[in-house]
Amino acid sequence: MKTILLAGGAGYIGSHTAVELISSGYDVVIADNYSNSCPEAVKRIEEITGKSVKAYEVDIKDKAKLETVFKENKLDAVIHFAGLKAVGESVAKPVLYYRNNIDTTLTLLECMQEYGVKNIIFSSSATVYGEENPVPYTEQMQRGTCTNPYGWTKVMMEQILEDAAKADKELSVVLLRYFNPIGAHESGKIGEDPQGIPNNLMPYVAQVAVGRREKLTIFGNDYDTPDGTCRRDYIHVVDLAKGHVKAIDYVLSHDGVEIFNLGTGTPYSVTEIVDTFEKVNDMKINHVYGDRRPGDLPESYANADKALNVLGWKTEKTLADMCRDTWNWQKNNPNGYNK
């Protein structure tokens, strides 16, 4: 059985990926400092899968501690989810973001070199396409200019991983560029649990639905889009997690660097998200239209052909599934993992 280290595996995407990997016959080891997650998520993974999961509380930047994980486990591959991801916070605290996100990557690569682990998948983002590239985004486009330090950390980490693979011909690197993951596992046991006021659309909608926030502000309705609100490529987190299983199969059997967009290829507007959430869950979401949010692009969506052609992966879930599963998680866990 192959063993996969999930760095940041207790988080939103990591926890769903853990479930899908275990269900596909992989063994997983989680390493997380719980800076944006909690050990309860690991318990929930165990409840869903019926398997016990080895988890280490470790800061990935702490090389001595991370080495223990590499010493105690025979790892076949690493998936690197461990990063800070709040765009606004990255503008206010750039040094924190560069330190955490770049250092975790370097420390993981050093341990991989020292312990002979040759396969890594990295959680990148559609944000690396920047402002210049036209939609839909394809993987061969140049990385663009980012509007914030979070985005730049992703650009830099992609470059670091590409350089590492150039120098070590046995290294296999897969860069997964996620679009907008939303939704939750259909069990309602794991989901997105943001700390404080959510920055992202769907967790905000869910917290309005559950009564934790009074109303949603839709940022701008004067964009050059069909209904004037921004359009994004929302992807169900379980589809995204299944993309990681395909990427693991790929990374274990190839060398070099490969980049894949993980998106549906179909954009939806903010208004369409609110309308679908209301319809599917039979409720009203109190909302108002406000100013544009600085840095937002009118449209962002993938060309998802490469993942289909090379990995044999495509999304299966609908926007209605995403809205239903988000609400199922939120209503079962009104305060997230804190019950």
If you search the block for the tokens 């490469």, which residue do you land on? 306
Considering only 3, 23, 27, 34, the residue that binds ligand NAD (CB under 6 A) is 34
Within 113-152, which residues bind ligand NAD (CB under 6 A)? 123, 125
| Angle formed at CA 311 by CA 306 and CA 315, multiple of 5 degrees | 80
Q: Helix, strand, or coil here: 221? A: coil
Catalytic residue among 26, 56, 137, 150: 150
Within 194-223, which residues bind ligand NAD (CB under 6 A)? none
The whole-angstrom separation of Cα 45 and Cα 288 is 37
Residue 11 vs 267, nearer CB to ligand NAD: 11
Residue 109 is which amino acid?
A: L
Beta-bridge mates of residue 5: 29, 78
Is 313 a binding residue for ligand NAD by CB under 6 A? The answer is no
Is 3 a binding residue for ligand UD1 by CB under 6 A? The answer is no
Q: How many Cα neighbours within 13 Å face the side chain of 315?
A: 28
Is 184 a binding residue for ligand NAD by CB under 6 A? The answer is no
Spatial contact of 51 and 16, defined as CB atoms under 8 Å apart: no
Within 207-226, which residues bind ligand UD1 (CB under 6 A)? 216-219
Tokens standing for 310? 């090379």
Please confirm, yes or no, whether 115 is among the known catalytic residues.
Answer: no
Among ligand NAD, ligand UD1, none, residue 151 binds (CB under 5-8 Å by kind): ligand UD1
Considering only 16, 61, 80, 85, the residue that binds ligand UD1 (CB under 6 A) is 85
Beta-bridge mates of residue 125: 178
Among ligand UD1, ligand NAD, none, residue 191 binds (CB under 5-8 Å by kind): none
As a three-state string, the secondary structure of 121-138 is EEEEEHHHHCCCCCCCEC
Which residues contribute to the site for ligand UD1 (CB under 6 A)? 85, 87, 125, 127, 150-151, 180, 199-201, 204, 216-219, 230, 232, 270, 293, 295-296, 300
